[in-house]
Amino acid sequence: HVSFYNNRGEDLAYVSGADVNAARLVGAATYPLSAHSSSLASGIDPDRSWLSGGASVGTLTFAGAEGSAYTLQFPGFPDVAFTLDQPTASLPDAAPPQNGVYTYNFEARSDRLENIVLRIEQAEVADDALLLTVSFVNENPDDISFSSTVTGRDAVLFDGLWQQYRPGQVEQTLDQGIQPPGDIWGEGEANTGVLTFPRPTAGEVVLLRFPSYPLIRLPLQPNAVAAPATDGDLPPSVTPRPTPTPLPTPTPLSGEALARQEAQAVLQAAAAALAAGDRASYLAQFAPPLQAAQAEIFDRSALLPITDLKLELGDGPQNGLPNGDNELRGLEAELSYRVQDADPLFSSPLEYTLRRDIAGQAGRWLITEVGGKLPFWAYGPTAATKSGSFWIFYRPELAAELPAIEREAEAAFARVDQALPGRADPVNVMHITATEAEFADLTGRSANQFLGVASSRYQINKQGITITSQAFYINGAAFRNDPQQDRQLTIAHELTHLVLSSQTMPYTPAWVSEGAAMFITQDFDTQVVADWYREQGPQTLELAALTSKTSFGDGDHAAEQTSLDYAYSAYLAKYLIETYGQARFLQFYDSFADVPFETIRGQLPRSGDNVSFSQSMGALAQQVTPDKVQAAFGVDLQTLERDYEAWLGQQLPR
């Protein structure tokens, strides 16, 4: 049984160089690690980040060890010698807390937020959770205008073994900030909410950490008193603890910082009003010229099958760029929502411009411009209908086409569900765009080249890459302009991408993802491949180079190379499935979602622009694909290319 403590005096994003699987136990012989607890599966650091004072606790198992004197060898740490000479009846683990309600009414003061008091009201220990009721109180002598990016989600608990817990649920009053809703925080007003943590597994005392407030000791015992934590409450340390750097004496905010704080408060007020469904308060945050359009968007969202609508302000005190004293541009926020009965989360990164010198507004900051990736229903009048396995969002002028779209969508779903049994969600969301311009805006792809797009947004953290948003668009204008196009095939193609999206990474080669979709829809452009094979020859396309493309069509305005890339990939998927079977091909496809974080991190770009990210993902695709091919099919990439192109020559018309 081992514990690793973060005693550095600072939070750590992650730790590398301490490979759990390389641990050894040296005694009469050297025993390799045979098993470890799931808590150490991703390393010695806890998930998400390792907070100062937190611990990672687990077990290491060395099968077959004999004797009583041992030395534990663990990468990155000094050897630890120990002797098994004091048997105990049971492990000295801290017992879990007892269910009950424990009242405190303890108050703590912030070292940064002047006269904003944190009050710990009570803790309730239930079978599967710890519910902590807290209040933030304005003890200033007057009403104040207050803005902070800190929310209830920033709270952390440490249990008796210093394992760290974050709230899984935060009551709405603390979900957007610690201040009450509205522009003014009244004198003596308390903002109270409940933070729901997982039930601690060890100890009858927990420690509460909240930014800028002291660490607080909370006994989970009847009639016990909360108190500031002392060194005796902290985890063991073999070296003297670092002395925290004294916080500087607070200085008045600069004009720029004050302007940013005031402008951010406006956006936070808009977010709170949107979450509460308060139309008047929401519109009050916008300049008069924007209010009519925003009223339409607000009302439209209320009529559509949209749930969990949220607007979250971007992190960081530097969010937004001042333009003089009275304008703030590029204030970032994230609009997210779900669709009734459907699983995926939809999110749109937005950017706001605010001004405060608007005539007749008494110097108030107001939103004057909204940009970024607007959601489909913000572009104009929107209708939605539930048809079989789809919610279909469309423009009212497309109503006459809806019966045909519904039939095609159900036929497409049946086809994909039969080919990929058990993978499709029971309810999917499809958007039908009306114009080429909105299709290009929503997808970032050319309306002249693409009939549909299924897109995903990703978040990178210690667990790897996770999908934060999915969307599925059909280019309605393209099918009106050319009725000969096969819309049902396009719906099936994009639905295949959606069904496989949970296993599709930003570094999955496009020949894998597009090849899969084209095989499922049996979309093989024989003429394109035959012309290339006969006129240019297989030597003009290398699979290793194609592997660096994680999407097709970028920068290819003539679309000739894009057509070949798609057709080549379709036949390559056909070859792999006919040669090795669909089950093995799908295992190969899924394996791209199982790449260690250390491998991913090694290819991440330093800059966050889309071009750098795309290039880094292409490099990562080239790095991991040869091993994936070898593991799945037992051949290297060059052999696969040679065998495939020989097979392809036999399939094409002579």
d(CA 459, CA 468): 6
d(CA 172, CA 195): 10
- pLDDT at position 137 is 94
- pLDDT at position 247 is 46
Q: Give the tens place of pLDDT for each residue, 86-131.
A: 877 666 667 889 999 999 989 999 988 888 999 999 999 999 999 9
* Token pair of 276 as six digits: 């509460």
d(CA 335, CA 306): 12
Sequence letter at residue 178? I
535, 628: one domain: yes
Is residue 474 within 8 Å of residue 436, measured between CB atoms?
no
436, 512: one domain: no
626, 552: one domain: yes
Q: Per the domain annotation, does 355 fall within a domain?
A: yes
654, 512: one domain: yes
- In this structure, are strands 464-475 and 428-433 parallel, antiparallel, or unpaired? parallel
Q: Per the domain annotation, does 185 fall within a domain?
A: yes
Least confident range from 228-237, 545-554, 567-576: namely 228-237
70, 120: one domain: no
Q: Give the tens place of pLDDT for each residue, 320-360.
A: 788 877 888 988 888 999 999 998 889 999 999 999 877 66
530, 631: one domain: yes
208, 299: one domain: no
In this model, does residue 642 exceed pLDDT 90?
A: yes
Q: What is the DSSP letter of 199?
A: P
484, 514: one domain: no
202, 296: one domain: no
Of 437, 430, 436, whose CA–CA distance to 454 is shortest?
430
**154: phi > 0 → left, psi -120 to 50 → alpha, else beta; which?**
alpha
234-243 own/partner pairs: CB under 8 Å, 24+ apart? 234/7, 234/53, 234/162, 235/3, 235/5, 235/7, 235/53, 235/55, 235/162, 236/5, 237/5, 237/7, 239/7, 241/7, 241/9, 242/7, 242/8, 242/9
162, 79: one domain: no
Q: How many CA atoms lie within 13 A of 491 on its CB side?
A: 26
Q: Per the domain annotation, does 491 fall within a domain?
A: yes
SS (H, E, C) 85-138: CCCCCCCCCCCCCCCEEEEEEEEEECCCCCCEEEEEEEEEECCCEEEEEEEEEE
- pLDDT at position 399 is 95
Least confident range from 279-283, 304-308, 600-604, 636-640: namely 600-604
Domain count across the chain: 5
Q: Per the domain annotation, does 246 fall within a domain?
A: no
- pLDDT at position 464 is 63
More confident residue, 560 or 373: 373
User: Taking all residues of the chain, what is their mean pLDDT, rounded to a whole number?
Assistant: 88
Phi, psi of 616 (to 5 degrees): -70, -35
Q: What is the CATH number of the domain that holds 300?
A: 3.10.450.50
406, 489: one domain: yes
Q: Give how far Cα 626 sits from Cα of 464, 578, 589, 618, Å.
A: 20, 20, 13, 13
Of 420, 652, 619, 617, whose CA–CA distance to 516 is shortest?
420
Whole domain around residue 485: which residue ranges? Answer: 389-503
In this model, does residue 183 exceed pLDDT 80?
A: no
d(CA 418, CA 21): 41
499, 521: one domain: no
Q: What is the CATH number of the domain that holds 109?
A: 2.60.40
Q: 137 forms bridges with which residues in the sheet? A: 117, 190
481: helix, strand or coil = helix
Q: Per the domain annotation, does 229 fall within a domain?
A: yes
Phi, psi of 41 (to 5 degrees): -65, -35
In this model, does residue 147 exceed pLDDT 50?
A: yes
CA angle (511 as vertex; 510, 514 as ends), nearest 5: 70
Listed residues 54, 83, 112: the one ending a domain:
83
* Token pair of 630 as six digits: 């070898």
d(CA 228, CA 104): 12
In this model, does residue 270 exceed pLDDT 80?
A: yes
Q: Is the pTM of this model over 0.75?
A: no
SS (H, E, C) 619-631: HHHHHHHHHHHHH
d(CA 538, CA 542): 8
Q: Per the domain annotation, does 384 fall within a domain?
A: no
Q: Per the domain annotation, does 350 fall within a domain?
A: yes
Listed residues 378, 406, 432: the one ending a domain:
378
Phi, psi of 509 (to 5 degrees): -60, 145
* Token pair of 185 as six digits: 């925080």
Q: How many CA atoms lie within 13 A of 376 on its CB side?
A: 28
Q: Per the domain annotation, does 287 fall within a domain?
A: yes
* Token pair of 514 as six digits: 């597009």
Least confident range from 235-239, 294-298, 387-391, 635-639: namely 235-239
